[in-house]
Homo-oligomer: A and B are copies of this chain.
Amino acid sequence: MRLLRACGVFFRLSLFFRAGAMVLHLVPRCSARLLWASPGWRRTYTQGTSVGQKWLGCPRDTYRPLACRGRSSVSGSPEVMLTPERYPVQRLPFSTVSEEDLAAFERIIPGRVITDPEQLEACNVDWLRALRGCSKVLLRPQTSEEVSQILRHCHKRNLAVNPQGGNTGMVGGSVPVFDEVILSTALMNQVISFHDVSGILVCQAGCVLEELSHYVQERDFIMPLDLGAKGSCHIGGNVATNAGGLRFLRYGSLRGTVLGLEVVLADGTILNCLTSLRKDNTGYDLKQLFIGSEGTLGIITAVSILCPPRPKAVNVAFLGCPGFTEVLQTFSTCKGMLGEILSAFEFMDSECMQLVGQHLHLTNPVQESPFYVLVETSGSCAGHDAEKLTNVLEKVLNSGLVSDGTMATDQRKVQMLWALRERITEALSRDGYVFKYDISLPVERLYDLVIDLRTRLGPRAKHVVGYGHLGDGNLHLNVTAEAFSQELLTALEPYVYAWTAEQRGSVSAEHGLGFKKKNVLGYSKPPVAVKLMQQLKALLDPKGILNPYKTLPAQA
């Protein structure tokens, strides 16, 4: 029997412990501090806002996404190639921004037309540093009416527009490919209303998810979505990309929780569907067109969203499993025994743990295992939830599904365990060039692709790792290398997409298609569907000025 190191780090642990039944390894205080010793990108971000304040004079400025990611410097990124140099893409015959255009923008949003090259650099490069546009102008409207006037001008002048939220996208949807006008939602960051009985929040599109999260938590609600980039990403961008994230298992898709949207169409028309009703069956649900359309059909300017009540108790268990079969069985056990309080079931493999240790100095709180799972419960009664989770842990430990585990109930410790999972992306980005895949698969086949790829790639890859939202059948498959390699890319694509298609999976579970994945749409959607999407694009944006080169493959 393994040793229980009861050092008081985890609050109310006694509740969860039954003599002889389960073995919990606790993180001692020193390790706990280590977990936070390396500043996370969210933290760094918050510190970075002062820079924005300086040069734009906006107190809630949430700009400079690259700075937010812990990179040493925003200025000068010579190592990021221009997108058209790496990818075969031709500029479409849009107009080029002229002095007259700049003057027109200046009349619409005085003082908020940015043309300084250094300031533009951060908006031209995606945070993965794989893509770089060459936009010459960044516009920072504060109201829907300003967005409308800008689009009316761009539409008339045939100027392409790249809408940008927190620039945290994974597929290059949020940066220009050529010289598109960048329209940032960063200054559209006001809460419009909050109803404290229904939990319905109405806010502008540029509100940062984490700030909204704090806002509603103070009122005893939570946001229905949560993701690693919360410190930078904008709610408008979340909706435009139909972000999934960590609470999807419990609170479902934004397609259910978003109640209304205000959208500015390509020609500047304002479409106001910003209702705050849980039910509304009057005609077609137009807002759905814009959820997940990545800014290609309209620019979301405001969002009405249903926030769930804040759970009174949150528990997190971090467990080591001897194999992927055991991970799946642990998931089934949790689903059955935790029922309505199960709020997350995440998994990561041992290579992920190795990377967060190596690059971020996070400590593995349990004994080394081939797989790790993070189980979160959120409920309305601490005692009931603890009892349910105890029963589960007792069962999975006794049956050998889990070899070791640790638990937390208080907020700080819960965050420490979550950091192990949430910061994998950051660790990967420090490991070298990252080939990222975000796929949906039948849960029982979820890890097979990782194993398959390790064999296929051999020493050409530095690391092949798998982690993700197991409860949603969503695998984040990442391959790292010292640098971008065409050979590795050729070995990966279209192999990964064809493999996924064979399982009737999705080649983009939650990241969207953006620029990088638009040509693989056909692996998950039939030609009839792709054609209809193109017809919708032509209907809503006949000149194609909204976020061009993204989401849909170029028409033959």
Contact = CB atoms under 8 A, between A and B. Distances in A.
A279 to B, nearest CB: 4
Interface string A510-525: 1111000100010111
Contact of A288 (B288, B474, B526, B532): B288
Nearest to A288: B288
Contacts of A285: 242, 255, 288, 291-292
A281 B509 contact: yes
A211 interface: no
A278 B528 contact: no
Contacts of A528: 269-272
Interface in A125-170: none
Interface string A274-288: 011111111111101
A452 B16 CA distance: 55
A443 interface: yes
Contact of A513 (B271, B282, B388, B442): B282
Nearest to A259: B253
A529 interface: yes
A52 interface: no
B529 A288 contact: no
Nearest to A198: B443
Contacts of A530: 283
B276 A504 contact: yes
Given A252-B256, A384-B381, A506-B282, A273 B339 contact: no
A282 B171 CA distance: 12
Contact of A341 (B257, B286, B340, B474): B340
Contact of A339 (B312, B337, B511): B312
> Which of under 10, 10 to 19, 20 to 34, or 35 or more describes the interface residues of A?
35 or more
A510 B279 contact: yes
B248 A280 contact: no
A274 B293 CA distance: 20
Interface stretch (A319-327, A488-496, A533-541): A533-541
A100 B167 CA distance: 60
Interface string A434-470: 0000001011100000000000000000000000010
A473 to B, nearest CB: 6
A57 B56 CA distance: 76
B255 A288 contact: yes
A532 to B, nearest CB: 6
Contacts of A552: 283
Contacts of A58: none
A279 B248 contact: yes
A278, A336, A504, A508: most-surrounded residue (chain B CB, <10 A): A278
A540 B531 CA distance: 12
A422 to B, nearest CB: 18
Given A275-B506, A379-B339, A283 B388 contact: no
Contact of A282 (B241, B291, B378, B525): B525
5 contacts: A253-B279, A279-B509, A280-B506, A281-B292, A283-B533
Given A271-B529, A272-B528, 9 more contacts: A195-B442, A255-B256, A277-B505, A277-B506, A278-B440, A278-B474, A279-B506, A311-B339, A339-B379
Interface of A: 195, 197-198, 241-242, 244, 248, 252-253, 255-257, 269-273, 275-286, 288-289, 291-293, 297, 309, 311-312, 332, 335-341, 378-381, 384, 387-388, 440, 442-444, 469, 472-474, 504-513, 517, 521, 523-526, 528-530, 532-533, 535-536, 539-540, 551-552
